[in-house]
Amino acid sequence: MATSADLEQELEELRAWKAAHEHKAIDRAFARLEALMESASFDPLISIRAFKVIGDCLLTLKDEVRLRR
């Protein structure tokens, strides 16, 4: 039977694993955004200019998030 200390250690390990993998998802999302910004073509639903402004805002937000880690 697991002791309280064992359960607490397992919980901490799971939290560390979750934190490590959550950031990878955000990194992948921003990498896709950067790739889209480099190869953006005309989309009738949103202008290229608006798309680039939104992209710049999101990339700035990403930098802010990384500074606070």
Average pLDDT over residues 14-20: 78
The pLDDT of residue 67 is: 78
Condensed to tens digits (0 to 9), the pLDDT of residues 29-47 reads: 777 777 777 776 655 677 7
Place of tokens 């919980």: 11
Percent of the residues in the chain that have a pLDDT greater than 70, as a whole number:
84
Over the Cα atoms of the chain, what is R_g?
A: 19
Task: Say whether pLDDT at 59 is over 70.
Answer: yes
Answer for the pair 62, 47: CB distance below 8 angstroms, yes or no.
no
The burial class, CB within 10 Å (0-12 / 13-18 / 19+), for 3 is exposed
Task: Say whether pLDDT at 23 is over 70.
Answer: no
